[in-house]
Amino acid sequence: MTDKPVVSLRNLSFTYPGATSPVFRDFSLSVGGSEFVAIVGGSGVGKSTILRIASGLIKAESGTVEIAIAKEPTRRRRALVFQDGRLMPWRTVAQNTALGLEGLALSEAEKTRRIADVLALVNLSDMADRWPHQLSGGQVQRIGIARALAVKPDVLLMDEPFSAVDAMTRRHLQTELVRIWQQSGTAIIFVTHDIDEAAFLADRIIVMGDSPARIVNETTVPVDRDLRRDSQDLSRYADSVAGALDFQI
C-alpha cells in the first residue's frame, strides 16, 4: 500500500428520493494505492450507494469524489463489480470481458492482449469462446472481475460480489480474489454484509452504523495474510468488529 490516497471520498451525503433524512451524512474515506478496504454494516446504511457514488453512476447530494491519478485515454480510473456477473447472454466470455474497453484508445491487438491477460489472471483462459449459460456461478463472477480489471482501473469497487454463490464457491473466490488483487496491484473498496469475509480479505475494515449512517468503527486487520484462513486470531478479531454494531456472527 502507498501512503498517498488513490481515491478520496470527502463529506459525502445522500438522501434517497422521497426520504426525509439522508441515508448517510458527511461520509469520508481515503484509500491508498494497492490497499484493500472493506465496508461492512447492516442493511440500509448505504454501503452500495457509496460505491455507486464512487464509481460515478450516481451523484452525491453533497461532497466530492477525488481520484488522484490523471485520466488516460487507454484506461479507466475506476471499475465496478456487481453482486451478479451481469454478463450479456449474447456475448461470449471474451466479448463480455471486452465490454469496458469500448471507447478506449486501444488498437484491436491491444484489446485482444488485455482480454487474454485478464482471463489468464482469473484462470479462465480456456473459457474465452464460451457463452454465459455455459458457466458456473463462480466462473461468472470471475469474468465480472476480469472485465473490470481489463480497463486497468486505479480503484476496483466491489458490491458484495460473492453473495449469490454457495459457501464452498465463495470460500474459493475469496482466496482467488486475494491472489488476483496481489498480482494486479489495484486498490479495492469491497462492500459486504459478512464480517468474516471482510476480515479475511481486507487490510482495513470500515464499519457503518447509526442513522444517518456514519463510520462507527475503523480498524486495521491485525492478522498476517498468510495466517488468516481458519485462524482463531482472525475469528476473535471478526467478533470484535461485529461488536461495534452488536452483530452476532
Q: List the CATH number of the domain containing 220.
A: 3.40.50.300
Q: Above 50 in pLDDT, residue 247?
A: no
Residue 21 DSSP code: S
Q: Alpha helix (H) ranges present in the chain?
A: 47-55, 93-97, 108-121, 137-149, 167-184, 195-201, 232-243
Verify cis geometry, omega within 30 degrees of 0, for the bond prior to 161.
no
Q: Identify the pLDDT of residue 53.
A: 97
Do β-strands 78-81 and 155-159 pair in parallel, antiparallel, or remain unpaired? parallel
Does 99 lie in the same domain as 45? Answer: no
Residue 78 in any domain: the answer is: no
Q: Rounded to the nearest 5°, which phi and psi values hold at 154?
A: -75, -30
Is the model's pLDDT at 248 over the cut of 50? no
26 — phi, psi (to 5°)? 55, 45
- Residue 24: inside a domain: yes
Q: Which H/E stretch holds residue 159? A: strand 155-159
Answer yes or no: do 28 and 122 share one domain. Answer: no
Instruction: Answer with the one of 153, 178, 197 that is the final residue of a domain.
Output: 153
At residue 246, the pLDDT reads 61
Look at residue 44 and tell me if it is in a domain: yes
How far apart are alpha carbons 226 and 207 in whole angstroms? 24
Domain contains 79 = no
Residue 84: pLDDT above 90?
A: no
Q: Which of 12-26, 143-157, 233-247 has the lowest mean pLDDT?
A: 233-247
Q: Which of 64, 61, 57 is nearest to 25 (CA)?
A: 61
Same domain, 166 and 135: no
DSSP structural state of residue 190: E
To the nearest whole percent, how much of the chain has pLDDT over 70? 97
Same domain, 163 and 130: no
How many domains are contained in the chain?
2
The pLDDT tens digits for 94-151 are 999 999 999 999 999 999 999 999 999 999 999 999 999 999 999 999 999 999 999 9
Residue 3 banded pLDDT, cuts 50, 70, 90: low
22 shares a domain with 3: yes
> 117 lies in a domain?
yes
The mean pLDDT value for 178-206 works out to 96
* pLDDT band, residue 249 (cuts 50/70/90): very low
Q: Do 222 and 215 contact (CB within 8 A), yes or no?
A: no
Evaluate whether residue 4 is within a structural domain. yes
Domain span including residue 132:
86-153
Q: How many helices (H) and strands (E) does the chain have?
A: 7, 9
**Which of these three, 130, 153, 176, is where a domain ends?**
153
Grid coordinates 484462513 are at which residue? 229
Q: Is 26 left (phi over 0), alpha (psi -120 to 50) or beta?
A: left
| 222 and 116, same domain (yes or no) | no
Residue 2 in this model has a pLDDT that exceeds 70: no
- Do residues 61 and 170 share a domain? yes
**pLDDT tops 80 at residue 244:** no
Q: Are residues 58 and 161 in the same domain?
A: yes
Among 99, 121, 153, residue at a domain's last position: 153
Quick check: 48 and 249 in contact, CB under 8 A?
no
The reply to whether 81 falls in a domain is no
Report the distance separating Cα 208 and Cα 80, nearest Å: 20
Neighbouring CB atoms inside 10 A of 14's CB total 23
